[in-house]
Structure 1
């Protein structure tokens, strides 16, 4: 009887575990197998080719550029989304008459389709677009750039659009964390003579660590898996300047190089796992110690 009661909770987990295994674990294992084969559209038989696909990834300049762009995009968006998200959350946690309306305004881009955002931003980011004209109108014409056609800055432009879209979502998570912090901490700090900055560093940030952990992981994984923003804004161009791992996977499958595409996808999965799990464990330890 005791054994059956002990196993009861596991019975409730089995359906979800079965679905997860069927639609995630099993495809991952199959994909891992195919990444070591010469699987192509024009072939009817599979042959095991060892590390050939992975050697191709690290010897092809376009694939290396895609890996570099993915890392740049992830780093820039993690920093940008979280810094702006915290700043907005702190500002809109104050007693402002318009704070509810402002929260809705800043959060609303995160529910928009990336297709809608591309329709809005593509004309704005042209060389003769709204942003450059605005710079010229205020006497800052030297800041005008070919935002989507300059290979040196195009990945940063796409990252900026992504930050604009989802920083409000991070703000909402930080707001929930801020509202769970007791005001007594700040009252005690004020009595002790601490200013706003010291209160933020010594009270807000440590108590906001759970929300920071969540947002950093969400933005990091989302940044490494970037695809939609690049696909709709530049398609990987100009040339291959804004190619990322996601667009390389699409191109590989489109060209019929299914084994290579699967290998790139496997590499992305391994990279996300290697980076995210140790980072999560480190941040959780910091959360506990704080």
Structure 2
């Protein structure tokens, strides 16, 4: 009976574990194997080719550009979403009469699909679109840009749209963290003569580490897996200027080069794992020490 009770919790997770294994673990292992083959649409038999697909990734200029764009997008969106989300949360945690309305307004874009947001922003960001017309109307025509056709800024433009769409979600997580902090800490700090800035850095940020940890993980993984907004807004263009890892994977499979596409996907998985797990461990340790 005692042994049966000890195994009871494991029995409960078996169905979920089986489903996870069938739909995630087994396909991942299979994909890892295929990334080392010449798997193509026009071939009936597979041949093991070792690291050839991965060598091609780091020798093809378009693939290297896609890796760079993915890194830029991830860094910009992680910083932007978390900084803006934290500032909004701090502002809306104050005693404002309209704070509930403002929370709803800032959170509402995150409810919409990024596909919908991308479709809405695409005509607005054209050379003759709403954004440039608005800049001209307020006397800032010098800031007008070819937002989606200028190779230099196109990936930054897409990143800003992603930040606008998701910062409200990060705000909600930070707001929940802020509301869990006891006001007694701030009252004690005020009695000791601590300024608002000192209270923020010595009380708020350390106690907000669990929320920061969650948001960093979500935004980092989401940034490295970017696909939908790039595919809808530019399709990887102009030329290949906004190609990211996700669009390269789609293009490789579309061209029938399934082995290369799987290799790119495997590389993305490895990169996400190498970055996310050490960061998660580091942030967890910071939570404990703080």
CA distance in 2, matches of 1:264, 1:192: 56
CA distance in 1, matches of 2:179, 2:87: 15
CA distance in 2, matches of 1:101, 1:119: 26
Matched residue count = 290
Partner of 2:95: 95
Secondary structure at the aligned position of 1:222 is classed as helix
Q: Tell me, yes or no, if the aligned pair for 1:114 and 1:232 is still in contact at 8 Å.
A: no
* 5+ long unaligned stretches in structure 2: none
Confirm or deny that 1:227 pairs with 2:227. Answer: yes
Partner of 2:4: 4
Partner of 2:115: 115
Counterparts of 1:12-51 in structure 2 under 5 Å? 12-51=12-51
CA distance in 2, matches of 1:139, 1:165: 27
Q: Tell me, yes or no, if the aligned pair for 1:41 and 1:256 is still in contact at 8 Å.
A: yes
Report the Cα offset of residue 88 of structure 1: 0.5
TM-score, length-normalised on structure 1? 0.98
Residue-by-residue CA offset, 1:231-275 (whole Å, 9 max, x unaligned): 011000000000000000000000000000000000000110111
Report the Cα offset of residue 137 of structure 1: 2.5
Counterparts of 1:169-184 in structure 2 under 5 Å? 169-184=169-184
Secondary structure at the aligned position of 1:59 is classed as coil
Report the Cα offset of residue 2 of structure 1: 2.3
CA distance in 2, matches of 1:134, 1:189: 46
Runs (4+) of structure 1 exceeding 3 A deviation are none
Residue-by-residue CA offset, 1:88-146 (whole Å, 9 max, x unaligned): 00111111111111111111101112232123211221112222222222222221111
CA distance in 1, matches of 2:14, 2:193: 55
CA distance in 2, matches of 1:5, 1:123: 61
Residue-by-residue CA offset, 1:171-193 (whole Å, 9 max, x unaligned): 01011101100011111111111
Between stretches 118-127 and 82-91, larger displacement belongs to 118-127
Between stretches 94-103 and 156-165, larger displacement belongs to 94-103
Counterparts of 1:90-239 in structure 2 under 5 Å? 90-239=90-239
TM-score, length-normalised on structure 2? 0.98
CA distance in 1, matches of 2:118, 2:13: 41
Report the Cα offset of residue 8 of structure 1: 1.6
